[in-house]
Amino acid sequence: MAPTQAQLDADTIQRGSAWTRDLTDALGRVVVGQEHLVRSLLIGLLTGGHVLLEGVPGLAKSLAVSTLARAVGGDFARLQFTPDLLPSDLVGTEVYHARDGSFAPRKGPIFANFILADEINRAPAKVQSALLEAMQERQVSIGGETFPLPRPFLVLATQNPLEQEGTYALPEAQLDRFALKVVLDYPRQDEELVILDRMASTAEPIEVTPVTSPEAVLATRPLVDAVTLDPRLREYIVRLVHATRRPAEAGLSELAGMIEYGASPRGTIVLALTCKAEALLEGRDYVTPTDIKRVAPDVLRHRVAPTYEAEASGFDSDALVRRVLETVPVP
């Protein structure tokens, strides 16, 4: 039975989220730096939200995701997205048995707890469409028959910046299915020295053993729902999202011609869920405005599209979201 807000206290949070600290430590033994990346992956686990990771090659995106899957102990599948990938390579297909003339489904690699969709923006539109049903409905169709996906089910996709040769822009509908989009930067010099000491060797990679289980992850999600989100903060979240759609009404008249489209209602829902998960990771049973501001850039950056005029003026989606967060008053 899920705890109510009245039943949630510090001890319940500490016990229920103990595995998140163990998981953070396990990831930290393999992935140097990238604390924000690790935090975002934990939020995705706690909320069941898919995560899109963007950065140039070599920033440990794939390493972080594969390490996460091993540390949780769930089924893991890595899919290298390429221009010649077919939908059947992802979800599976029907196989003909000549002996009795029947067809039987052969399930694809999508039937795993953790899907690493590596370089997702290198695959064509048909493959993206095949992934869309799995991400939203947690089910796939093979030969007219629907099959549920395992729980938890999480797509953790990596993406190279669009200016990289051979990439496709993801459809807006699919981008909206990602709860978070995390943009990675190069490590600091001190972090890169640690990477050099740890990785510049012919020795076997660091072994990762499970520190938690998929069942523990699912058992913690009701705690996220039980975290208190004050009505004033609920209104604040709605105001933030509406400011991305009608900036002039939020006192952002200078952005009126710079936003092609703003965040969807799904963005509002995700922002409310992720700020609760952020509070839980901080050991609190209530959300603060800081929690909302901390997760908002990752929730909104891929849901706010700048116009051509905005891009020409140097305003990308991050700059637009940052301006909204600076302007909309905090309750």
CA angle 192, 194, 199 (to 5 degrees): 90
Average pLDDT of the segment spanning 297-319: 90
Segment among 144-148, 174-178, 200-204, 264-268 with least mean pLDDT? 200-204
Distance CA 182, CA 2 (A): 30
Sequence spans of domains, the chain: 17-217, 227-327
Residue 229 phi/psi, 5-degree rounding, is -120, 105
**Residue 110's CB: how many other CB atoms inside 10 A?**
24
* Mean pLDDT computed over every residue of the chain: 86
Give the pLDDT of residue 325: 94
pLDDT single digits (tens) 198-226: 777 777 777 788 899 999 999 999 999 99
User: Which string of b and e fits 260-291 if b means at least 16 CB within 10 Å?
Assistant: eebbbeebbbbbbbbbbbbbbbeebbebbeeb
Percentage of the chain beyond pLDDT 70 is 95
CA–chain centroid gap for 79, Å, is 16
Q: Which helix (H) or strand (E) holds 292?
A: helix 289-300
pLDDT single digits (tens) 236-247: 999 999 999 998
Q: Which residue would you say has higher pLDDT here, 195 or 113? A: 113
Residue 160, classed as helix, strand or coil, is coil
Give the pLDDT of residue 166: 64
Give the pLDDT of residue 87: 86
Average pLDDT of the segment spanning 99-111: 82
For domain 17-217, the CATH superfamily is P-loop containing nucleotide triphosphate hydrolases (3.40.50.300)
User: Which string of b and e fits 65-87 if b means at least 16 CB within 10 Å?
Assistant: bbbbbbbbbbebbebebeeebeb
CATH code linked to domain 227-327: 1.10.8.80
Sorted by sequence, the CB contacts under 8 Å of residue 272 that are 6+ apart come out as 229, 234, 237
CA–chain centroid gap for 222, Å, is 19
Average pLDDT of the segment spanning 88-94: 86
For the chain, the straight-line distance linking the first and the last C-alpha, in angstroms and rounded, comes to 33
Give the pLDDT of residue 5: 52
Q: Which amino acid is residue 295, in one-letter code?
A: V
Distance CA 270, CA 292 (A): 11
CA–chain centroid gap for 78, Å, is 16
Average pLDDT of the segment spanning 38-58: 90
Residue 97, classed as helix, strand or coil, is strand
Distance CA 275, CA 294 (A): 8
Give the pLDDT of residue 299: 96
Give the pLDDT of residue 295: 97
Distance CA 275, CA 117 (A): 25
Give the pLDDT of residue 6: 45
CATH fold match for the domains 17-217 and 227-327:
no
User: Which string of b and e fits 11-37 if b means at least 16 CB within 10 Å?
Assistant: eebeebbebbeebbebbeebbbbbeeb
- Give the CB-side neighbour count of residue 60, counting CA atoms within 13 A: 22
